[in-house]
Amino acid sequence: MDSLLFLAAAPAAGGSAFFVQIVPLLLIFVVFYFFLIRPQQKRAKEHEAKINAVQKNDEVVTGGGLMGKVTKVADDHVEVEIAPNVRVKALKATLANVQSRGTKAAND
């Protein structure tokens, strides 16, 4: 009986022990990729496309929380009207959300 316990506790052969130890790590990486990394990359690409497609009269929200209408678009920045006759320049990279002029707000 003691010899059976000793054999059960003995490590497996060299090649198969490495494989048995690596499989859980690979499985964890695959799960992280499909449930965390891939969806995050997809959202980032969609956000970047939305920012690059900003046009005049679009409603935007900046990263600082300013909301307004785009009055002018340049290569790397936009001019946003946040109140009547009050315009600020904002980098495109700081835009958090862009709502096209043709879409309707959720609470309207």
In the chain, the largest separation of any two C-alpha atoms, in whole Å, equals: 90
* HSE, side-chain direction, 13 A CA sphere, residue 67: 2
pLDDT at 94: 94
Q: Which residue has the higher pLDDT, 17 or 102?
A: 17
> Is the per-residue pLDDT at 1 higher than 90?
no
Domain boundaries, given as residue ranges, for the chain? 2-50, 54-99
Note the pTM of the prediction, 2 decimals. Answer: 0.66
Q: Which residue has the higher pLDDT, 18 or 70?
A: 70
Asked if the 54-99 domain carries CATH number 2.30.30, the reply is yes
What residues contact residue 66 under an 8 Å CB cut-off, 6+ apart?
A: 80, 82, 88, 90
Q: Average pLDDT in the 55-78 region?
A: 94
Cα–Cα distance for residue pair 68/59, rounded to 1 Å:
6
pLDDT at 16: 83
Which contiguous run of DSSP H or E holds residue 50? helix 38-52
Q: What angle do CA 63, 67, 92 make, to 5 degrees?
A: 50
pLDDT at 4: 47
Tokens of residue 1, six digits:
């009986």
**pLDDT tens per residue across span 6-64:** 445 555 556 688 888 999 999 999 999 999 999 999 999 999 999 999 999 999 999 99
